[in-house]
Amino acid sequence: MRDPVRSPEGAGAPGAEHRRREPEGRDPHYNFAYLDEATKRMIRRAILKAIAIPGHQIPFGAREMPLPYGWGTGGIQVTASILGPSDVLKVIDQGADDTTNAVSIRRFFARTAGVATTTRTAEATVIQTRHRIPERPLREDQILVFQVPMPEPLFRLEPRLAETRRLHALADYSLAQVKLYEDIAQQGESASSYNHPVLVNGRYLMSPSPIPGFDNPKLDRNPALLLFGAGREKKIYAVPPYTPVKSLDFDDHPFAPMRAPHPCALCGSTTHYLDEIVTDDRGGRMFVCSDTDACAEAAGRAGAAR
């Protein structure tokens, strides 16, 4: 079979209309980053309005993607619409670069956009993530794209979408406050260790996607641009850099992010968020960093220090 990348009809062939800017390795049978240009324009317009109205969900006409919902189609469409040939892409799934989901998405963009990919947070310009924010502080030149299964923070409390739109318009979040109050009264703490709702710039209640509460403080005044894409629900929202983001709480019960009280079994970190791993069928278990890049970096440092 002929290798399409090296075929003489490739983008750099004599007589090609456009100047050659195809990065190496891109499959020219796809439009750059897979999506057609009209779809990108629509998503790009939604992203700009999302940045202008921090935390507000913008509806968009989601396109069918070659991956099923639940694989991050909303995040993929956002990534596809912002990505350029000089970007370096990292994809994480619950903090790990090596899950099937993360590997598939990374390969998808390496093939359709020809972009460089990396597993190192420090090297990435665009990071697509499911359920975590990297441990390493992000920089101004980085963009974090969240895959969002359910963008509406009120959906368990108010199933009617038209009504949630009205409540957001009025900034009436008493339903969420009552729910939080009840959780605290019954359990002494908030029930939501994941996906704890946040107030963005003092105005919009927003779902941070199912990240652990441990990551919520990282949303606050982050130097990076944070973009959120929900494929099934067809919504895009954003938190601009340095925007105040506050986890919903009460003065006498301030939001307290949780972390398992152990060092990482691999790198010894006492600050990274940990996953509990079952090691055998007799109840053996260990705690390891959820962020595989941060763990490897810390393990490298610990090894060098020995």
Partner 1 sequence: MRPGFADPVLDAQAAFRAVMQAMARPGTVQRLAAAPDAPPPIAPAAAAVLLALADADTPLWTDAPEAARGWIAFHTGAPFVAAPEEAAFLLATSAMPPLAGLRAGSDEAPQEGATLIVQVGALRPGAGWRLSGPGIAEAHRLAVAGLPADFPAQWAANAARFPRGVDLVLAAEDALAAFPRTLRIAEEG
* Residues with catalytic function: 55, 264, 267, 289, 295
| Residue 28 is a binding residue for partner 1 (CB under 8 A) | no
Contact segment (CB under 8 A) with partner 1 among 2-10, 180-188, 241-249, 259-267 equals 241-249
| 73 lies in the binding site for Zn ion (CB under 5 A) | no
Minimum CB–partner distance for residue 306 and partner 1 (Å): 38
By CB under 5 A, tell whether 96 contacts Zn ion: no
Q: How far apart are CA 271 and CA 61, in angstroms?
A: 41
Query: If binding is defined by CB under 8 A, does position 161 make contact with partner 1?
Result: no
| Contact status: 19 vs partner 1 (CB under 8 A) | yes
For residue 274, report the phi and psi dihedrals to the nearest 5 degrees: -115, 145
Q: Residue 264: which of partner 1, Zn ion, none does it interact with, CB under 5 to 8 A by kind? A: Zn ion
Supply φ then ψ for residue 45, to 5 degrees: -65, -40
# residues contacting partner 1 (CB under 8 A): 46
* Least distance to Zn ion, CB of residue 196, Å: 24
Smallest gap, in angstroms, from Cβ of residue 58 to partner 1? 5
Q: Single out the residue of 27, 28, 30, 85 in contact with partner 1 (rule: CB under 8 A).
A: 85
Burial 2-35 (b: 16+ CB within 10 A, else e): eeebeeeeeeeeeeeeeeeebeeebebebebbbb
- Bridge pairing between strands 225-230 and 143-147: parallel
Residues near 296 by beta carbon (within 8 Å), at least 6 away in sequence: 267
Mapping DSSP onto H, E and C, the string for 227-293 reads EEEECCCCEEEEECCCCCEEECCECCECCCCCCCCCCCCCCCCCCCCEEEEECCCCCCEEEEECCHH
Tell me: does residue 170 bind partner 1 (CB under 8 A).
yes
At closest approach, how far in Å is the CB of 131 from Zn ion? 17
Is 217 near partner 1 (CB under 8 A)? no
- For residue 122, the 8-state DSSP code is G
Residue 277 binding partner 1, by CB under 8 A: no
Q: Does 45 bind partner 1 (CB under 8 A)?
A: yes
Q: Which residues contact 200 (CB under 8 A, 6 or more apart)?
A: 54, 55, 206, 239, 243, 244, 245
Cβ contact 119:293 at 8 Å: yes
Q: Which of 111, 136, 139, 203 binds partner 1 (CB under 8 A)?
A: 203
Verify binding: residue 302, partner 1, rule CB under 8 A: no
Binding positions for partner 1, rule: CB under 8 A: 18-19, 21, 31-32, 37-38, 40-42, 44-54, 56, 58-59, 81-85, 140, 165-166, 168-170, 201, 203-204, 221, 223, 225, 239-243
